[in-house]
Structure 1
Amino acid sequence: MIFTGLLCGALLGFVMQRGRFCLTGGFRDMFLSKDYRMFYALLIAIAIQSIGVFALIQMGLLQFKAGTFSWLGTIVGSFVFGIGIVLAGGCATGTWYRAGEGLIGSWIALFAYMLMSAVMKSGVLVPINDAFKQYALPTNSIPATFGLSVWPFIILLAAITLYLAVRHLRKPKVPIPSLPRKRSGLSHLLFEKRWHPFATAVLVGLIALLAWPLSEATGRMSGLGITTPSANILQYIVTGNSEKYVNWGVFLVLGILLGSFFAAKASREFRFRAPDAKTAVSSFSGGILMGFGASLAGGCSIGNGLVMTAMMTWQGWVSLLFIILGTWTASYFVYVRPRVQAKKLQSASMTTA
């Protein structure tokens, strides 16, 4: 039963690789070019998962407890995580699937992310993690806070998402140059044709929904999650304790790697690409910040930004907000400020000349 995690992860890795479902790039583009397509796509995936999961809960097929809201850890950790994903060149899931494409920089970021996550969860930084979690509110569920059913919130989310998606689709299309068609039929659709972000989001939402019953069937009462399973891999390698650390989530993240690898090979996009020294240092630093932030926040852009948002929790939506703010902050210092300084230097040199 635990191997269903491998299947679910492989599906997710395949879809994210082929659909280029990169939340880091999406959040960054919101700031740099006012392009909200990927954010709207994320809302689609959240809405689909939310409708499906709460329908299953209402039918008594799933269980979910929102727990408490560790507000300080969520805010600080999510902001740090947002900075980290810009430096690493991808979020937690994005790093896994890009590693499957052969990017050595993503392997560096992935190792640093796993290492810091393990240190935060079972190493010398556990006291810091625990200290932040002391600042918590008793209710994490947004509907429970207001004493309401979850369905008005789901309907509101679905309505807003539908409005934003339709409005975007009605905008005039900018022609995108494409490579000459070399395949036909299903092979062309799967491995050659450019996937629309919204179509990819529908598939991601359905896979996120599928993860809940598959995971709960093994006793893991949760949906998609990346940070803890990533840490578990390193913890298992060090301790050899398979009973404690090898679970459905571990197979999920390994499946993402395998699914992405298959998609990249089949679409002829796989190749080993080594980063320069500066990029390697940035990838490692970003991975460290990702591991620290995600552990502090109780989840990454998938665990909090996709799953806990769908479960209508404060943790999910507050985390998503601060991940985006962290991404924007890092994007300013990494992309905008160097350009401004370069223009000033160029202007000064021209004036001197």
Structure 2
Amino acid sequence: MLQTILTGILCGALLGFVMQRGRFCLTGGFRDMYIAKNNRIFYALLIAICIQSVGVFGLIQIGAITYHAGSFAWFGTILGGYVFGIGIVMAGGCATGTWYRAGEGLIGSWIALAAYMLASAVMRSHRMDGFNGYIKSLSTEHNSISETFGLSPWLLISLLVLATGILVAKELKKPKLKMATLPPRKTGLDHLLFEKRWHPFATAVLIGLIALLAWPLSAATGRVFGLGITSPSANILQFLVIGDDKYLNWGVFLVLGIFLGAFIAAKGSREFRIRAADAGTSVRSFGGGILMGFGASIAGGCSIGNGLVMTAMITWQGWIGLSFIILGVWTASWFLYVRPKRRAALQASAVS
């Protein structure tokens, strides 16, 4: 049990620290793809996926771990991914983003996190067995894309790495925007860790390595999987309510570590402060958390479980789930950001 606690918290703390300091927000990144036509965070996600994919399949190749993707519950992945995408815009952050922003002191993220944990736990209760069973029955035999087409996963990984390299190279060639910066207050390692602005691609490399590290650390405790947020979040609430130690697995300490690492990063960079949310934001955060918990549960993963891990495993669940998460983000962004701006612009032009 000690190994489970220590390695889980360590991996989570590293992830929370890196995501907080790198401001690695997938919700904002997916939203910017639509509103600002800025794909930088999406390309950064691809970098993290590639690093994890090469590493995990290398571990499988040498027999260090074994993994089978199973069947593909297509209906749950599509519906759940889309609902989850809408929810993370309402909540102001995805599952991991909500955990690390809660570590920064955002009350709205605490509200969203509580609702997310509640909905995830409810979806795993016995009362939902019939519904969950029906969702899982709507599936195809192969979840692995390579198995579907009878190809080597290394061929698909090579194509992914090549495509990512081309996109990243084009992005790096774009002219850099000059931003006004204050003189550094810190020097040396303190400046690098707690003050210097981190490039999203450098952040993505670190996230990819942490995602890879999660596999052997988790497997050593009997949990053969990488990063995961939804089930562990539900397990925390189930443990608090029921008190059964079976819910305290490696994933639980992973998500607690994310909170701890983000708190350390926020304190060190002077970005931690308790920020209250108004009534409207609180209600929207709670509703977004409910949609997040429901969507991630039927989709089999969140923006990390599906969008980072299952994509790296070259599965339909990962790539289709990620696509519908992005589509959900775009839909919610239109209603919450684009449409109000257009309406305000029309009203302003009518008055003038």
**Same fold flag (TM > 0.5):** yes
The answer to whether structure 1 residue 96 and structure 2 residue 99 are counterparts is: yes
Which of 258, 261, 271 in structure 2 is aligned with 1:259?
261
| Pairing 1:110-259 to 2, within 5 Å after superposition | 110-122=113-125, 124-242=127-245, 244-259=246-261
The structural deviation recorded for 1:123 is: 5.1
Distance 1:347 1:129 in 2: 50
Look up the equivalent residue of 1:107 and give its one-letter code.
Answer: W
Which residue pairs with 1:44 in the alignment?
Answer: 47
The separation in 2 between residues aligned to 1:245 and 1:202, in whole angstroms, is 31
Would the aligned equivalents of 1:114 and 1:234 in 2 still touch at CA under 8 Å? yes
- 1:119, 1:126 within 8 Å by CA — same for their partners in 2? no
8 Å Cα contact 1:105/1:279 also seen in 2: yes
CA distance in 1, matches of 2:193, 2:157: 31
Q: 1:273 aligns with which of 272, 275, 287?
A: 275
Of 22, 26, 29, the residue aligned with 2:29 is 26
Of residues 291, 309, 312, the one that matches 2:314 is: 312
1:13 alignment partner in structure 2: 16
Residue 343 of structure 2 is matched in structure 1 by: 341
User: Aligned pair count?
Assistant: 349
TM-score (norm 2): 0.98
Q: Secondary structure at the match of 1:2?
A: helix
**Matched residue SS, 2:127:** coil
Shift of 1:258: 0.2
Aligned residues: CA RMSD: 0.8
CA shift, 1:343, in A, is 1.6
Are 2:76 and 1:73 aligned? yes
Note the C-alpha offset of 1:127: 2.7
SS of 2:281's partner is helix
Structure 1: distance between partners of 2:181 and 2:95: 29
Unaligned ranges ≥5, structure 1: none
Task: Give distance in 1, aligned partners of 2:258 and 2:146.
Answer: 33
User: Quick one: percent identity of the two aligned structures?
Assistant: 69
TM-score normalized by the length of structure 1: 0.98
Distance in 2 (CA, whole Å) between partners of 1:9 and 1:179 is 31
Structure 1 runs of 4+ off > 6 angstroms?
A: none
